[in-house]
Chain A
Amino acid sequence: MTIKQISVFLENKSGRINDVTKALAKAGINMHAFSMAETTDFGILRLIVSDVERAIVVLREANFSVVQTDVICISCPNVAGSLSVILEHLADKNIFIEYMYAFAQGDQANVVIRPTDLQRCLEVLQENKCNVLTNRTL
């Protein structure tokens, strides 16, 4: 029920995100979503892509440091307050979230969550009838 995300280490220098997207585009790999986390001297670019394994090979060949991580992706109605309901469920059960990011698609919003405890998080989401996506349904 989890989906595979790739994360790319980037030094803070201009044009590096562009280099990643160019390498993926050249290999015909689609980006569904991405988010960037930064400190003053480096950043981590997190991506949901159409072909995870190929993306890792392509990016490492281009001298990027890449790791694959399991994350949870849920879909909820793109209306005010729907995400906070879900987050409250998780907070009630003491599920700690390391990071999350969201992207909207029409009337639906997809949210990527990286909890410290993947299994517990999935259980809570399912108990509360949330729509958890897989790589196939994404």
Chain B
Amino acid sequence: MSREEMRELQGKRLHKLVDLVYHNTPFYRNKLQEMDITPDDIQTIDDIVKLPFTTKQDLRDNYPYGLQAASLQEIVRVHASSGTTGNPTVVGYTRRDLEIWKEATARCLAAYGVSRDDVFSVGYGYGLFTGGLGLHYGVEHLGATVIPTSTGNTEKHLHLLRDLKVTGLACTPSYALYLAEAMDKYGLTKEDLHLKIGAFGAEPWTENMRKEIEDKLGLQAYNIYGLSEISGPGVSYECSCKCGSHICEDHFYPEIIDPETGRVLPYGETGELVFTTLTKTGMPLLRYRTKDLTSLIADPCACGRTNVRMTRIIGRSDDMLIIRGINVFPSQVESVILEMKEFEPQYMLIVDRQGNLDTLEVQVELRKELYSDEMGTLLGLKKKLADRLKSVLSISANVKLMEPNSIPRSEGKSKHVIDYRKLK
């Protein structure tokens, strides 16, 4: 399908979607009426910018069924994700939603090269979480054999992989690594297994993790992306090129926005990923803000697919800082530091304000194996990091070299920032 044909299809589906929520979801009808928009105002996909955003808070505020467009008679399944605070997010699916979801997931599996000959173990949790059942029905829909292993018993899982000659594995990338490490303990090597293909997702992972998983399990590891609010796993998938995840954009329309202003950003720019569920009928969402930070690629892929790709998720928009009017994400700093072997994988951003000007200091630790004792070389290293940060962040940062172990260790990205502007 060409880009033009895709956009035409998306435009038609968007019009139908707005018509559906306008007449069936009071939450959206109120919002659209406030904005003086009727379904007739939405004719092409470009009209999407007229529509309001939806946030996770909207789902919580309308707990449990407030954003449902279908009656409970039409809803045949409910999934829910628990938040750390407040109400869980509840998503109802109509029979048609489930059909589309499993078709999308099967599409992902087909792109990985899965066929009816494969035996797939689904090591995601089965239950309220969408991972287990999502992959389960996708594998079945494709006609491969599914083994609903779920999470938990690692030894049993490994024996099933070996004895049932399992060729495909779906789970979180960290669980895949855990399985690989456990193989040693149970006297198994990758030669004892028959794994060829892995579908990993539900958490961010790195290229290094991919290499390690492929190496230890003897398979090709592919990303699968999804979120329960939109449907579940199957929103996007990597092809054999492993260069970004193709989005099922005939069902899930992606946009990248500036998290601060809501302005839509062009292809290639990093911002918050937003999805509109073009074909859902149970709980369709307009411009749902995922808080995931990524960018979109519209260029045709080497695999021949023309659908848009999203790059690796680099962080959450909650972590965003605005420094001198520029959006800065701690994960951008992290990626630069991880590439430079002279530093420990630790950093701290100190944001302050002097007069009317924001200042950014990036603290990094030298490794215990100091690599040079020459002043000029260390100053050069400092400058090299400052230059790289400038090119990635678009603002200059003052680099401070620190002794090993001098930056406090803690979990979570937010602990990598001290913003004195908020304290003043």
Question: Which residue numbers of A lie inside 8 Å of B, CB to CB?
Answer: 5, 7-11, 16, 37, 39, 41-42, 44, 46, 60, 63-67, 69, 98-99
Cα distance A16–B403 in the bound complex, in angstroms: 10
In the complex the two chains form, is A9's CB within 8 Å of B401's CB? yes
| Complex Cα spacing A41 to B386, Å | 15
Interchain CB contact under 8 A, A67 and B371 = yes
B40 within 8 A of partner (CB): no
**A64-B403, A65-B403 known; A7+B375 contact, CB < 8 A:** no
> With A7-B370, A65-B366 in contact, do A37 and B375 touch (Cβ < 8 Å)?
yes
User: A42 and B401: CB pair below 8 A?
Assistant: yes
Residues in B with CB closer than 8 Å to A64 are 368, 403-404
Q: Interface on B for A, CB 8 Å cutoff?
A: 366-376, 378-379, 400-406
| Residues of B close to A7: CB separation below 8 A | 370, 373
Residue of A nearest to B344 (CB): A65
Distance of B342 from chain A, by nearest CB (Å): 10
Known A-B contacts A65-B366, A65-B368, A65-B370; the reply to A41 vs B378 at CB < 8 A is no
Of all chain A residues, the one with the shortest Cβ separation from B372 is A67
The answer for the CA separation of A66 and B404 in the assembled complex, in Å, is 10
A60 near B368 with CB under 8 A, answer yes
Q: A66 to B375, alpha carbons, bound, how many Å?
A: 14
B373 touches A44 (CB 8 A): yes
CB distance from B360 to the nearest CB of A (A): 15
- Chain B residue with the shortest CB-CB distance to A41: B400
B403 neighbours in A (Cβ, 8 Å): 9-11, 16, 63-65
Assembly CA distance A37 to B374 (angstroms): 9
Can you offer 8 A-B residue contacts whose CB atoms are under 8 A?
Answer: A5-B373, A9-B378, A11-B403, A16-B403, A64-B403, A65-B404, A69-B373, A98-B374
Q: Provide the bound-state CA to CA distance between A60 and B403, in Å.
A: 11
Question: Using Cβ atoms and an 8 Å threshold, which residues of chain B touch A44?
Answer: 373, 375, 378
A85: shortest Cβ distance to chain B, in Å?
26
Known: A39-B379, A42-B378, A60-B368. A67 touches B373 (CB 8 A): yes
Give the one of B367, B370, B402, B405 with max A CB within 10 A.
B370
Residues of chain B contacted by A66 (CB below 8 angstroms): 368-370
Q: From residue B407, how far is it (CB to closest CB) to chain A in Å?
A: 11
